[in-house]
Amino acid sequence: MKKNVLQDVMPPRKRSIRDIPIGHKRRGSLEYKSDDMIESKPVEQVYKLNNSLDIRPRKIEIPEEEDHNNDVFDNDKKNNVSRGLKAKWWLIVLAFVAILAFLFSAIFSGAEIVIYPKQEKVNFQLDLTAIKEGVQTEIPGVLFKTVTITSEGSKTTKNFTEKEVAKKASGEIVIFNEYDSAPQRLVINTRFESSDGLIYRIPKSITVPGKKIGSDGKVTPGSIQVTVYADAVGEEYNIGLSDFTVPGFKGTDRFSKFYARSKTSMSGGFSGMMKVVADTELEGMTTEIKTNLEKDLKTQIYSQIPEGFVLYDEGIFFDFEPQNNVEEGDSVKVVQKGTLTAVIFDKNVLSNFIAQNVIDNLGGGTVEIVNIEDLKFTLPEKDYINISGGDTFDFDLEGDAHFAWVFDENKLKTDLAGKPKKQIESILSQYDGIDNIAVILRPFWKRSLPSSVERIKITRNLEEKVN
């Protein structure tokens, strides 16, 4: 058998990329055959065929084994340092967050409390009696006060004549009662003497409220403002501000305890020839002046009503007094003085008086009528009421009243301050007029109300009723 030279020259063959057959259609490509297909050729030919193969033995370099122990130690040391730094940073962050939370809690802490009071709506109609504050009486009724303001109006005309005129001076004084706690009645034409010895009189009977004594013993005299008229005509009674005594009390204890002081100067006194307007024209001018005065006085009075009081249009009384005509060259100015006296009621007093008459099971709670201004107030006998001197009068009141129970807001704040949220319900059980409550605490994680009442805000919700 002929010896195959390739078996001695080349190492045993392994499969390689060279064994992958190449397609026959590829130009310029060589055709390879498997071992079984290779023909036996002389050594020279084999050598030429494989002269591109490098079959020289090569030196195999084996890398030296590195010492990893030091590297591992260094890496562990670095990792430990890194973990320590991370822990410190986390502690710093947590401390910073805790400080921020404390500051936020200290600065922005607070409580908003929404109260849903007990409410009831009642349609009613009542005939009531009004009693002037300070008047002692057995008649049950609602206390009232009066507020008085004055103003002047005028109108000018060139149509006038001259005639003899005699007029008394007049003005406003305030009468004080420092004598007794009980109201004191002064009859019509009671005299008041100025420091100059001039006499002025009141045109109708009045009642002066009694004095009040405070808890500290301080005495506040009762007072009332009235119009007085000079005892005689003439310009000599036109005086400035003055003090007055009551000659009728001379020789009694009342003399030093009943006195008066000017609110305005005395004016209008005249005796002689004056330019006057014909009666027909004067009537029209006077009507126009009064109409304008009424509008002006109404605007003024509503802006002067004390907070917590209510005034009804029907409770307004007007009084007009002609003043001396004023000559202005070839014309004359007609002047009228208007006085508005208004009856006002304390809202709380009126609300609870009505509630006692129309609400069942009111208990010991106090209420307010939310829409008290919308009620209809009428005076059946208004023309016969002496609002300046009278002590009582009858009136009708009706409408759809919206009652809402009230509570002491300051006391509630004090009761809630510093208390845990879970105790709110038991605290509210002491307030009969509260149906429900909503509490918002800041910051949100707080579980108790602020200790300072100034950080507790309370509002009432009357729009809806929470069950």
Asked if pLDDT for residue 59 goes beyond 90, the answer is no
Place of tokens 């000659």: 247
Give the tokens for residue 89: 């940073």
**How many domains does the chain contain in total?**
1
Using the structure block, give the residue that is written with the tokens 């609400």: 359
Residue 181 located in a structural domain: yes
Alpha-carbon distance values, 351 to 234, 316, 416 (Å):
51, 20, 28
Look up residue 17 and give its amino acid.
Answer: I
Query: According to the model, what pLDDT value does residue 189 have?
Result: 94
Q: What confidence category does residue 25 fall into, taking pLDDT thresholds of 50, 70 and 90? A: very low
**Torsion angle defined by CA atoms of residues 134, 139, 141 and 145, in that order, rounded to the nearest 10 degrees:** -20
Whether 83 maps to a domain, the answer reads no
**Which phi-psi region, left, alpha or beta, contains residue 395 (left: φ > 0; alpha: ψ -120 to 50)?**
beta
* Model confidence pLDDT, tens digit, residues 297-334: 999 999 999 999 999 999 999 999 888 888 888 889 99
* Phi and psi at residue 88, to the nearest 5°: -65, -45
Report whether 278 contacts 187 (CB < 8 A).
no
Domain membership flag for residue 223: yes
Domain that holds residue 245: 161-272
Q: Is the dihedral of CA 76, 78, 80, 86 positive or negative?
A: negative
Which amino acid, one-letter code, is at 342?
A: A
Pairing of strands 366-369, 392-406: antiparallel
Residue 92 or residue 373, greater confidence? 373
Mean pLDDT value of segment 87-102 = 70
Write the pLDDT tens digit of every residue in 115-137.
Answer: 888 889 999 999 999 998 877 77
pLDDT at 264 over 70: yes
pLDDT of 462 reads 83
Question: Dihedral (C-alpha) 324, 327, 332, 338: value to the nearest 10 degrees?
Answer: -30
Top-confidence residue, 1 or 79 = 79
Q: What is the pLDDT of residues 405-453, one digit of tens each?
A: 988 888 888 888 888 888 888 888 788 888 888 888 877 777 788 888 7
pLDDT band at 1 (very low <50, low <70, confident <90, very high): very low
Does residue 67 form part of some domain? no
- For the entire predicted model, the pTM comes to 0.62
Dist CA 318 CA 308 (whole Å): 24
- Residue 61 maps to a domain: no
**Which one-letter amino acid corresponds to residue 35?**
D
| Residue 357, token pair as written in the block | 């008459």
**Tokens 């849903």, residue?**
116
Does residue 252 form part of some domain? yes
**Residue matched to tokens 């045993």:** 12
CB 346 within 8 A of CB 141: no
Backbone φ and ψ of 293, nearest 5°? -65, -40
On the CB side of 1, CA atoms within 13 Å amount to: 3
Q: What is the DSSP string of 157-168?
A: ES--EEEEEEEE
Residue 373 lies in a domain: no
Predicted pLDDT of residue 315: 95
Q: How far is Cα 422 from Cα 419, in angstroms, rounded to an integer? A: 8
Structure tokens at 382: 């208004």
Residue 84's pLDDT band, with cuts at 50, 70 and 90, is low
In sequence order, which residues have a C-beta less than 8 Å from that of residue 171 and are 6 or more positions away?
200, 227, 228, 262, 263, 264, 265, 266, 267
Residue 134, in any domain of the structure: no
